[in-house]
């Protein structure tokens, strides 16, 4: 991810929590806001609770989330550029009881990220017509 494509900071995250549209997945939750404007077509941030996991585990989960996002990034960028919109998304790892973070794999989070990509693309399509 390039620097301009990252969402960072408590204020930005709080803004997305409060005003973003929420998408629910099995392991993840995504908060999305679509705006008109210049800049990177897609900006993404990733959040993992510090109450539940130590730093090593949080960083591992974030790496997996970024890898899943990178797999879907092309489709999201294409939809955002076509619709001439700017998408801000915050992906939050919620987890699931019975699934230890040490056993979490990319294949576990890819379906949720693919679903988010499809739903966000569908939100962008009506805006482009």
pLDDT at 22: 95
Residues of the chain above pLDDT 70, percent: 97
* pTM for this predicted structure: 0.88
Calculate the average pLDDT of the chain.
89
Give the mean model confidence (pLDDT) for residues 36-63.
88
pLDDT score for 127? 45
Beta strands in 1-129 (DSSP E): 21-24, 28-35, 42-48, 86-93
pLDDT at 69 over 80: yes
**Domains of the chain, with CATH numbers?**
9-128 (3.30.230.10)
The pLDDT value given to residue 52: 76
pLDDT in tens, 55-65: 999 999 999 99
Mean pLDDT over 64-74 rounds to 94
Residues whose CB is less than 8 angstroms from the CB of residue 7 and which lie 6 or more positions away in sequence, other chains included:
13, 16, 43, 44, 45, 88, 89, 90
pLDDT at 9 over 80: yes
CA atoms in the 13 A half-sphere facing the CB of 84: 2
Identify the bridge partners of residue 42 per DSSP, sorted by sequence position.
87
**Tokens 């591992």 — which residue?**
60
**CA 95 to mean position of chain CA atoms:** 15
C-alpha torsion sign, points 73, 74, 79, 83: positive
């Amino acid at each position: 991810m390039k620097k301009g494509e990252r969402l960072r900071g408590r204020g930005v995250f709080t803004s997305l929590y409060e005003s973003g549209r929420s998408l629910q997945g099995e392991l993840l939750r995504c908060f999305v806001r679509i705006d008109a404007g210049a800049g990177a077509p897609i900006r993404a941030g990733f959040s993992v609770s510090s109450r539940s996991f130590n730093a090593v585990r949080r960083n591992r989960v974030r790496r997996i989330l970024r890898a899943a996002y990178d797999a879907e990034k092309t489709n999201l960028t294409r939809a955002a550029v076509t619709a001439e919109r700017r998408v801000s998304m915050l992906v939050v790892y919620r987890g699931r009881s019975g699934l230890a973070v040490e056993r979490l794999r990319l294949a576990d989070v890819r379906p949720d990220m693919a679903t988010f990509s499809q739903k966000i693309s569908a939100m962008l399509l009506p805006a482009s017509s």
